[in-house]
Amino acid sequence: MYGTYIGNNKMLVNLGYGGYLTISSQDLSLMPTLVSTGVFEVPLTKYFINNVKPGETIVDIGANVGYFTLLAAKLVGEKGKVIAFEANSQLVDYIKDNLAMNWITENVSVINKACYSCNQFLEFNTSEKFHGYSSIHDKPADDNLVDTYITHKVEAVALDRELSNYEGVIDLLKIDIEGGEYHAFKGMQSLIESKRIKKISFEWNRSMLAGDADSFLSLIDDLMNRFGGYLYYLDNEGNPNAAKLEDIAKLDFYPFVLIEF
């Protein structure tokens, strides 16, 4: 086991990549895997470790408790930069605590906002049991989950506007926002067009995308055609393998898709 209960409904996890992380003991999405194995989403974790370099800039959209935020911060070092977005204010507190606990405070910005196609306030549904399943959509991906959802108003921003004053290049943007990917991609088209995003890692989940699924596929196809993108899927070792959009579209779910511009 890689986790210890430390009271106040919190687990302390000894991470497989080094360092520590706290997470709610009541969470049924990330917590069981982290406590039992010390890692989460192994292919993407391996991809980060093998590809993120010192001095790079990483954006983590849907940071949850900061698992990939912390990993990215360790990899880019003091000369790099990590920008983490998380709409759930309770999870933002975990991110900040987890960074501080690992003595990482200088090269990470944590932003308590959702990423969307425009700047506005949105209804955001947070799950009481599965903290990683919170979403702008009002219906969970799995109707069999016994859970309670609480709706909050959250501030949403388009990345094109939120990062308009950031002049550097984003080496890797990781996005996992439970069906909100279509709108987030719409809000970063100027950054892609200006060659300021090199790679995007995202999850393909037709159920979570709901009515946006086909529009999301069309948007990806358009962006790749206009700006010369290449599509990959990550295998179990985190290695990118060439993929076709039509093959991804046939799947109901694949968590590790990569676009390189």
- Provide the pLDDT for residue 162: 97
Share of the chain above pLDDT 90, in %: 85
Residue-wise pLDDT for 228-252, tens only, equals 999 999 999 999 999 999 999 999 9
- Provide the pLDDT for residue 136: 66
* Residue partners of 120: CB distance under 8 A and separation at least 6: 156
What three-state secondary structure class fits 115?
strand
- Provide the pLDDT for residue 129: 63
Round to whole Å and give the CA distance between 43 and 104: 24
Is the pLDDT assigned to residue 89 strictly greater than 70? yes
Domains and CATH numbers, the chain: 3-260 (3.40.50.150)
* 12 exposure class (CB count in 10 Å sphere: 0-12, 13-18, 19+): middle
Question: Which one has a higher pLDDT value, 139 or 61?
Answer: 61
Pair 173, 200: CB distance under 8 Å: yes
Is the pLDDT assigned to residue 143 strictly greater than 60? no
Strand-pair partners of 108: 82
pLDDT bracket for residue 145 (50, 70, 90) = low
* Residue partners of 150: CB distance under 8 A and separation at least 6: 125, 126, 128
Per DSSP, helices labelled H in the chain are 31-37, 42-51, 67-76, 89-101, 159-162, 181-186, 189-193, 206-209, 213-227, 245-249
pLDDT bracket for residue 102 (50, 70, 90) = very high
Residue-wise pLDDT for 162-171, tens only, equals 999 998 999 9
Residue type, 129: K
Calculate the average pLDDT of the chain: 93
The pTM for the full model equals 0.94
Round to whole Å and give the CA distance between 69 and 199: 16
Residue-wise pLDDT for 146-156, tens only, equals 567 778 799 99
